[in-house]
Amino acid sequence: MSESSPDEPPNSAAVLESMTLLATLSTAAEVGKSVARRRLGRDPSAQEPPDRAAIHLRNTGRTLMDLLMQLALSRVPLDHPEEPLPHAVRHFDLLLKLRRAERLTQDMHQRLLSLYPEVSSELVEEARLLRNKIARFWETAPSDPDSPHLSDVLEQGISFVVWTRHEVPVE
C-alpha cells in the first residue's frame, strides 16, 4: 500500500470502504450491547425501578445532547463545496448520528414510561414524536419536500433533552 501525500485527494474507494466498515461495526456494537443487556436479564420493554430509570435518563440525555450538538456543528460549510467525497462523508456521518439519536430517543421514551406518572404524559409523548421525526428525516430527507428539516429535528431534540432534565427527579 502506497502512502499518499497530504496534498493528494483521498482515494474514493478506500473512503467508501471505510464508511461501510464503520457502519457495519456500529451496527454490530449496538446488537452486542442489546444481547449483553438481555443476557443480564434486562428486557428493554419492561418497566424499570424509578431510580435506575432516572439515572439512565440523565446519562442518555447527556449523550443525546452531545450528539445533537455535533450534528448542529457539522452544518458549517465545507472548504471545497464542489468536491463530492467530503459531501458523501459528511452525509454518511449525519446518517450514522441520526440513527444513533433515534435509538437514544427510543431508549429515553421507554425509560420515561417507567417513570410515568411521575413525569408528564406530554413529555412521554414528546419522546415518541421526536423519535418518529428523526426516523422520518432519516428515511426521506432530502428527496421529500415534506420531510422535516434538520434544524427542526435538532431544535425539537434539544428542547426534549432540556425538558427531560427539568422533569426527571434527581436522587
What's 56's domain CATH number?
A: 1.20.120
Cβ atoms of 111 and 53 within 8 Å: the answer is yes
> Is residue 63 domain-resident?
yes
132 three-state secondary structure: helix
> Is residue 37 domain-resident?
no
pLDDT digit string (tens) for 72-98?
998 766 566 667 777 778 888 888 999
> Is residue 139 domain-resident?
yes
> Is residue 60 domain-resident?
yes
Cβ atoms of 113 and 47 within 8 Å: the answer is yes
By residue range, what is the domain housing residue 105?
A: 48-167
> Is residue 157 domain-resident?
yes
Alpha helices in the chain (DSSP H): 12-39, 50-73, 84-115, 121-140, 150-167
Of 27-36, 65-74, 89-98, 136-145, where does mean pLDDT reach its minimum? 27-36
> Is residue 5 domain-resident?
no
Number of structural domains in the chain:
1
pLDDT digit string (tens) for 93-125?
888 999 999 999 999 999 999 999 999 999 999
> Is residue 114 domain-resident?
yes
What is the Cα–Cα distance from 37 to 45, expressed in whole angstroms? 12
pLDDT band at 1 (very low <50, low <70, confident <90, very high): very low
> Is residue 111 domain-resident?
yes
- Enter the pTM of the model: 0.78
